[in-house]
């Protein structure tokens, strides 16, 4: 077949240059993320609790001085480190988010993301085979803190915006006792109890998770309002007598046994009790939003209409989406036990 002759192409006539740059930027972004993870892994942020020269940081972290300075320059550009001549120090954002004794520390998030990083390098294989275990296993050093990092990650994420967002969307002024099913570190309960000071809450979860929840609840001085209760949803009932109940980030699409969890929740609620569901949600035409689509790729995500239907079928009434968090790709649904 004869090749068709193409017209000369003028670079200045190419359209969509802004969208093209944004797409290129998406493709580059992993380098920023990798730099943040490397600085965290090397303990650089902790060393920078006090201002230091790059050579001192390198000595304390056992790293190469020249590469350390280059990494510190990236951290400055990311806004977590500030440079004053030869000295580097954490910015307020850096010390708020990257020092372990900060109440909004995201070390768990970065550690957890390291696991996801390894898994996602195997994405082509996972898509080819349809098997999630086709992804490579992360190195042992990342696996040893896997569970704790995961639960601390839930805190690091929630404390830096989603918990405040969720609490601001709800009016629990006429509710007294909240059950936070699989409440993890308890951060959403903390936000709700701080916004509604008369409210009491119970964080219900596995014993290993509750070890962390107790620490988080104490850190925020909330043990007077929030208790913990151990339970395993595979064999235990959720209890009874609650007038509101939160299920945050546990109804992850069709594989999550949502129907069973919702029936258990209904039994725990008093008649008239308020069910609150918070999760990633795909829009109804399944074209996004991006955070929900990425979550769906690895675990599973309902569309808005699907989750409303699942909740309705479990016997709840007045089911409605009351808010969407576009940045997080999540939605908040409330319903009532008749």
- Footprint of ligand SAM on this chain (CB under 6 A)? 151, 154, 158, 182-184, 188, 205-206, 209, 231-234, 248-250
Nearer Cβ to ligand SAM (184/289): 184
Nearer Cβ to ligand SAM (231/273): 231
The answer to whether residues 166 and 154 touch, using CB atoms and an 8 Å cutoff, is: no
Nearer Cβ to ligand SAM (105/188): 188
Which of 100, 253, 268, 98 shows the shortest CA–CA distance to 180?
Answer: 268
Report helix, strand and coil shares of the chain as percent, to nearest 5. 50, 20, 35
Whose CB is nearest to ligand SAM? Answer: 184
In the chain the beta strands, taken as DSSP E runs, fall at 52-53, 81-84, 87-90, 177-181, 200-205, 226-230, 242-248, 269-280, 317-325, 330-336
For the chain, how big is the Rg over CA atoms in Å? 23
> How far are the Cα atoms of 191, 203, 209 from residue 214, in angstroms, in the given order?
15, 9, 9
Nearer Cβ to ligand SAM (209/303): 209
Q: How many CB atoms lie within 10 A of CB 54?
A: 21
**Angle (CA) 120 257 295, round 5°:** 25
Within 13 Å and on the Cβ side, how many CA atoms surround 329? Answer: 19
* Minimum CB distance to ligand SAM, residue 196 (Å): 18
Nearer Cβ to ligand SAM (114/205): 205
Nearer Cβ to ligand SAM (57/191): 191
Tokens of 39: 């600085």
Nearer Cβ to ligand SAM (122/185): 185
* Minimum CB distance to ligand SAM, residue 95 (Å): 24
* Minimum CB distance to ligand SAM, residue 213 (Å): 8
* Minimum CB distance to ligand SAM, residue 151 (Å): 6
**Residue recorded with tokens 């709800």:** 170
* Minimum CB distance to ligand SAM, residue 243 (Å): 19
* Minimum CB distance to ligand SAM, residue 16 (Å): 38
* Minimum CB distance to ligand SAM, residue 158 (Å): 5
Residue 282, phi-psi category: left (phi > 0), alpha (psi -120 to 50), beta (remainder):
beta
């Amino acid at each position: 077949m004869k090749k068709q002759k193409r017209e000369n192409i003028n670079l200045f006539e190419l359209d969509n240059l802004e969208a093209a740059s944004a797409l290129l930027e998406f493709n580059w972004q992993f380098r920023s993320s990798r730099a943040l993870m490397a600085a965290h892994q090397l303990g650089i942020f902790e060393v920078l609790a006090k201002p230091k020269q790059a050579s001192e940081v390198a000595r304390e972290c056992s790293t190469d001085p020249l590469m350390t300075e280059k990494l510190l320059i990236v951290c400055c550009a990311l806004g977590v480190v500030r440079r004053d001549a030869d000295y580097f120090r954490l910015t307020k954002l850096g010390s708020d988010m990257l020092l372990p004794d900060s109440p909004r520390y995201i070390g768990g998030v970065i550690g957890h993301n390291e696991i996801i990083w390894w898994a996602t390098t195997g994405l082509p294989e996972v898509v080819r085979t349809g098997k999630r275990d086709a992804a490579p296993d992360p190195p042992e050093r990342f696996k040893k803190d896997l569970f704790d990092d995961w639960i601390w990650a839930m805190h690091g994420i929630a404390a830096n915006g989603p918990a405040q967002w969720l609490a601001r969307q709800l009016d629990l002024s006429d509710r007294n006792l909240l059950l936070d099913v699989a409440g993890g570190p308890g951060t959403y309960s903390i936000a709700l109890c701080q916004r509604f000071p008369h409210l009491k809450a119970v964080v219900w979860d596995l014993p290993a998770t509750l070890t962390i929840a107790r620490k988080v609840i104490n850190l925020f001085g909330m043990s007077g309002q929030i208790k913990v209760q151990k339970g395993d949803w595979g064999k235990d009932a959720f209890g009874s007598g609650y007038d509101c109940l939160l299920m945050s980030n546990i109804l992850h699409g069709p594989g999550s046994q949502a129907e069973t969890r919702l029936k258990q929740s209904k039994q725990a609620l008093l008649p008239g009790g308020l069910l609150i569901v918070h999760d990633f949600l795909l829009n109804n035409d399944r074209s996004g939003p991006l955070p929900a689509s990425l979550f769906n790729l690895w675990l599973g995500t309902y569309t808005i209409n699907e989750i409303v239907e699942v909740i309705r079928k479990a016997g709840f009434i007045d089911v409605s989406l009351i808010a969407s968090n576009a940045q997080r790709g999540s939605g908040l649904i409330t319903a009532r036990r008749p």
